[in-house]
């Protein structure tokens, strides 16, 4: 039985995308647990670089001269620099969160997705192979479920019908990870995140876009006339899940059924999990909860569906619950309240 509260044998963990929303929160948690953290990020300007720098400052504050935090600014596409870093630090665990994220932007700038998510991830896999990393955890996404209609989404479902290039790159990551798990015995865990939100979140996602518009008396665009839903997952729950996955290495399934294969398991040391709340919130309900938390009404304009977006997401998390003995703890109302408080403070809307 793993003791998640007091892990023994502190290891070196390399986190890519460490200045990102999830990467920064994870770095803080793992420094708090006394792990030695190597952060990589290219600080690209897909969204506010200032926000990324602020997150890095929070990590530095948490480190507080304990010498557990080492940050390096470069792109994963730079295989030489990545190799040099592995050579210096020899990480035990690698957590790949760096990616070109966002569904809608993948229609405008497809090449950045192939560069960061495919070439960048290949470089990570190659380095893990060469330096014999104990465990590679990587970010996948609920968007891999694409055109699936069967709810809730289970890891047993087929994910062969992506409806955006972003989703296709995330599904590709799972396939690439499987081949490396099989060929080179690398333990890999893929995490399909479902709409992560909270303080220091991403400005290209609905909570931040809507909060800004509501507080500045601007209209919010409500896509598909409000007929959509998302399984939102609070950042603290996501971080606890990644942390627990760190301590529990992906294993081979010795009872793997080759004649009825479960896509999320394997004869190789490979696992894939949904990371969600198992609680879809309709778009209209989300807006109402956000209005209440901000203390202000939204001006809505109703719009058609956006290309690339999925209608609904809803995670079956039973497999993850079995694996790490954890269930997300934060209700959507509480999570949005904490997000709204942070947002007003951070952007100085308090008066």
In the complex, the residues that contact ligand NAD under the rule CB under 6 A are 17, 19-23, 40-44, 52, 75-77, 97-101, 116, 120, 139, 141, 193, 195-196, 202
Whose Cβ is closer to ligand NAD: residue 231's or residue 265's?
Answer: 231
Cβ of 249: how many Cβ atoms within 10 Å? 16
Q: Which residues contact 92 (CB under 8 A, 6 or more apart)?
A: 11, 12, 13, 133, 134, 135
Element (H, E) at 282: strand 281-282
Which of these, 325, 338, 94, 97, lies nearest to 236 by C-alpha position?
Answer: 338
Least distance CB 62 / ligand NAD (angstroms): 17
Whose Cβ is closer to ligand NAD: residue 33's or residue 202's?
Answer: 202
Which of these, 203, 181, 177, lies nearest to 190 by C-alpha position?
Answer: 177
Whose Cβ is closer to ligand NAD: residue 141's or residue 164's?
Answer: 141
Q: Which conformational region is residue 238 in: left (phi greater than 0), alpha (psi within -120 to 50 degrees), or beta?
A: alpha
Least distance CB 293 / ligand NAD (angstroms): 19
Q: Which two tokens stand for residue 176?
A: 């690439």
Whose Cβ is closer to ligand NAD: residue 31's or residue 98's?
Answer: 98
Closest residue to bound ligand NAD by CB: 20
User: Is 145 an active-site residue?
Assistant: no
Whose Cβ is closer to ligand NAD: residue 26's or residue 340's?
Answer: 26
E strand map for 8-126: 12-16, 36-41, 69-73, 93-96
Least distance CB 17 / ligand NAD (angstroms): 3
Whose Cβ is closer to ligand NAD: residue 153's or residue 301's?
Answer: 153
Strand order in the sheet with 69-73: 69-73, 36-41, 12-16, 93-96, 135-141, 188-193, 270-275
The active-site residue out of 105, 138, 166, 270 is 166
Least distance CB 277 / ligand NAD (angstroms): 12
Beta carbons of 281 and 332 less than 8 angstroms apart: yes
Q: Which residues contact 14 (CB under 8 A, 6 or more apart)?
A: 37, 38, 39, 40, 85, 86, 89, 91, 93, 94, 95
Cα gap 171→152, rounded to integer Å = 18
Least distance CB 142 / ligand NAD (angstroms): 6
Least distance CB 209 / ligand NAD (angstroms): 13
Q: 138 - beta bridge partners?
A: 96, 190
Cα gap 51→60, rounded to integer Å = 14
What are the angstrom distances between the C-alpha of 70 and each of 37, 50, 91, 92?
6, 19, 12, 15
Whose Cβ is closer to ligand NAD: residue 88's or residue 183's?
Answer: 88
Angle at 132 between CA 89 and CA 256, to 5 degrees: 140
Least distance CB 145 / ligand NAD (angstroms): 11
Task: Supply the residues annotated as catalytic.
Answer: 166
């Amino acid at each position: 039985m793993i003791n998640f509260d007091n892990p023994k044998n502190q290891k070196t963990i390399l986190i890519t995308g460490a200045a990102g929303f999830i990467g920064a929160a994870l770095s803080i948690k793992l420094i708090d647990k006394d792990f030695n953290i190597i952060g990589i990020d290219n600080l690209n300007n897909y969204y506010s670089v200032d926000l990324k720098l602020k997150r890095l400052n929070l990590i530095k504050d948490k480190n507080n001269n304990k010498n557990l935090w080492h940050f390096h600014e470069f792109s994963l596409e730079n295989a030489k620099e990545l190799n040099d870093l592995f050579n210096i630090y020899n990480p035990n665990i690698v957590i790949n969160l760096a990616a070109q994220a966002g569904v809608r932007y993948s229609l405008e700038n497809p090449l950045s997705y192939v560069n960061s998510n495919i070439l960048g991830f290949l470089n990570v896999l190659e380095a893990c192979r060469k330096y014999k990393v104990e465990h590679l955890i990587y970010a996948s996404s609920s968007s891999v479920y694409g055109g699936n209609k069967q709810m809730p989404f289970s890891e047993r479902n087929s994910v062969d019908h992506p409806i955006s290039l972003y989703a296709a790159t995330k599904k590709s990551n799972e396939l690439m990870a499987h081949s490396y798990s099989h060929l080179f015995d690398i333990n890999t865990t893929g995490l399909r995140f479902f709409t992560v939100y909270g303080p220091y979140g991403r400005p290209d996602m609905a909570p931040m876009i809507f909060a800004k518009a509501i507080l500045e008396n601007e209209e919010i665009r409500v896509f598909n006339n409000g007929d959509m839903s998302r399984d939102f997952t609070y950042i603290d729950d996501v971080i606890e899940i990644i942390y627990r996955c760190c301590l529990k290495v992906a294993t081979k399934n010795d009872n793997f059924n080759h004649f009825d294969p479960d896509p999320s398991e394997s004869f190789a040391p490979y696992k894939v999990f949904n990371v969600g709340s198992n609680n879809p919130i309709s778009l209209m309900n989300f807006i109402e909860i956000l209005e209440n938390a901000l203390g202000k009404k939204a001006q809505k304009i109703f719009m058609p569906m956006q290309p690339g977006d999925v209608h609904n997401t809803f995670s079956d998390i039973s497999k993850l619950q079995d694996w790490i003995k954890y269930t997300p703890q934060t209700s959507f109302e509480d999570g949005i309240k904490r997000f709204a408080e942070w947002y007003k403070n951070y952007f100085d809307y308090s008066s």
